[in-house]
Amino acid sequence: EPEVTQTPSHQVTQMGQEVILRCVPISNHLYFYWYRQILGQKVEFLVSFYNNEISEKSEIFDDQFSVERPDGSNFTLKIRSTKLEDSAMYFCASNEMAGNYGYTFGSGTRLTVV
Amino acid sequence: KNEVEQSPQNLTAQEGEFITINCSYSVGISALHWLQQHPGGGIVSLFMLSSGKKKHGRLIATINIQEKHSSLHITASHPRDSAVYICAVRIQGAQKLVFGQGTRLTINP
């Protein structure tokens, strides 16, 4: 069964450093998402991406965050200057089309900011 | 106020028991998803519902759009069903999912 692949599975970074989280969505999917889950809390939406641009973003997704699809297969989330409160599990997801289509989630990247 | 509320937050049962997890939402939706999250953290999609009922193996999901309520049932529960079960809704006119806080299910042998 097709998978969404995320790398790395775990990243530890110093506060203030830039991090890039990588995702390879399913090849025929057109909509891509980043969600995050702070330990012990519910999953929160960050951003959705379609046709090479952001289609929706949350209040969390401020100027410190950016997304891009640099080469037609990878989908990346960049955090420019990490804060302690950015420590969370970050999930990439994708789905095929607009409308009621199922989502496929990656296995997540656990980001720890120290 | 949370847009998606699940109950119970924690549920412990014996192997073989019939399990029900409930989800209520307060917004207009185009679909509701039931997801499973294992201790390693990965999220697996179980069901997507916009009306009625769906069944997959021992899992059954129902939704009542008028009541803004959905239930996930597990028949003949097994210790391998132990996980966090999450209800998430796709709000009308949006692509994003809004998640409930999850129900931690533990099935004892």
pLDDT in tens, B44-102: 999 999 999 999 999 999 999 999 999 999 999 999 999 999 999 999 888 889 999 99
* A43/B94 Cβ within 8 A: no
**Cβ-nearest to B50 among A35, A50, A100:** A100
Arithmetic mean of pLDDT, B8-27: 97
Closest chain A C-alpha to B101 CA, distance in angstroms: 5
pLDDT confidence of residue A65: 97
- State which residue of chain B sits closest to A100, comparing Cα positions: B31
pLDDT confidence of residue A98: 64
pLDDT confidence of residue A99: 64
Residue B26 has, within 13 A of its CA and on its CB side, a CA count of 7
Judging by beta carbons within 10 Å of its beta carbon (0-12, 13-18, 19+), is residue B18 exposed, middle or buried? exposed
Residues of B in contact with A104 (CB under 8 A): 45
* A108/B41 Cβ within 8 A: yes
- Give chain A's residues under pLDDT 50: none
